[in-house]
Amino acid sequence: MVSSRHEAAHRIFQERPELLAPVFRILDLSPPEKAAVEVLTPDATEIRPLERRVDSVLRVKPFDGDDFLLAIEAQGRCDPDKAVNWAYYVSYLAAKYKQSALLLVVCQDKATAEWATGPFRVGVDDWTALSVHPLVLGPGNVPVILDPDEAAQDLTLATFSALTHGSHQDAPAILKALARAMGTGDPDSVRYYTELLEIGLGSTTPAGITWRNEMSVGTYFPGRGTLIEETFLKGKAEGKAEGKAEGAAEGEARGRAQGVLGVLEKRGIPTLAATRDRITHCADLGTLDRWFDRAFTVSTADELFAEEEPGR
């Protein structure tokens, strides 16, 4: 069964292909200096009623070399059936697209990563028909990033590092450094990375609980019950109720104001009565949206209004 944590481990490559550059360096591969990356369908099903699906498939198109395919699998445990499945994926993709194919396996624990290196042979006794040699990313080769400044230089790599090292003894320090680094990112990226981590680390694991305490995050994968999904839905419901009594516009504004206050509350940021009044009495939806985005990264509630203060 595909889990949210499984999805997060490979989905980041689809949404942030720039992660491939440091990943290639980790794997001692020569990354193309410049390349376009295209997300392909992961469906490897044929006409026969047997479904096979790769987690993610990317086509990497270097400006000065041949295109190649990168099949990405997130693997949470050792699985003897993967030998034949992975051989099929690589062979099928190479045959379908008429291009070379590589397999990258992402693991979140050391034992699985060591197993995933293979090689996996398909054949009879000493006769090998196919041999699969995956590229593997795991706790053993993905860097541990403990410095907020280093994390801020590459939020994508830092996020992937935190996902990979969720069971590491230094996980709390890794997540704390990343949470501080998030203050340097643009709001859209911050929301993406924080919600991806909440899903990827899980809500009941020690790392997941640590992250929920460090950052109040949104819901990149709908329906998963993340903190801001709860806050957003609550605010939406309140806004709809208010809308019936006060009119749609007034109700929507009140609902968004509750969303801003909800984010601050979840992050443990105190708000004075005057600040709460300013937020709840704001009727401009654009301003409320801007405050909502800032609520993810501010250190104090007053920072929400920084650009609106006189002389700023």
Q: d(Cα 221, Cα 190) in Å, to the nearest integer? A: 15
Taking the C-alpha atoms of residue 5 and residue 237, their distance in angstroms, rounded to an integer, is: 28
For residue 172, cis peptide bond before it (omega within 30 degrees of 0): no
Calculate mean pLDDT across residues 219-242.
50
Residue with tokens 């230094």: 170
Name the pLDDT band for 145 (thresholds 50, 70, 90): very high
Omega cis (within 30) before 119: yes
* Statement: residue 68 has pLDDT above 60: yes
List pLDDT tens digits, range 84-123. Answer: 889 989 999 999 899 999 999 988 888 999 999 989 988 8
Helices (H), 165-226: 171-181, 187-201, 206-214
Tens of pLDDT, residue by residue over 239-258, are: 555 555 555 567 678 878 88
Q: Report pTM.
A: 0.61
Gyration radius from the chain CA atoms: 23
With a cut of 50, say whether residue 221 has pLDDT above it: no
For the segment 14-39, what is each residue's pLDDT rounded down to a tens digit?
A: 777 778 888 888 888 876 666 777 77
- Secondary structure element (H or E) that encloses residue 110, with its range: helix 110-116
116, 75 contact by CB (below 8 A): yes
CA distance linking residue 54 with residue 101, whole number of Å: 13
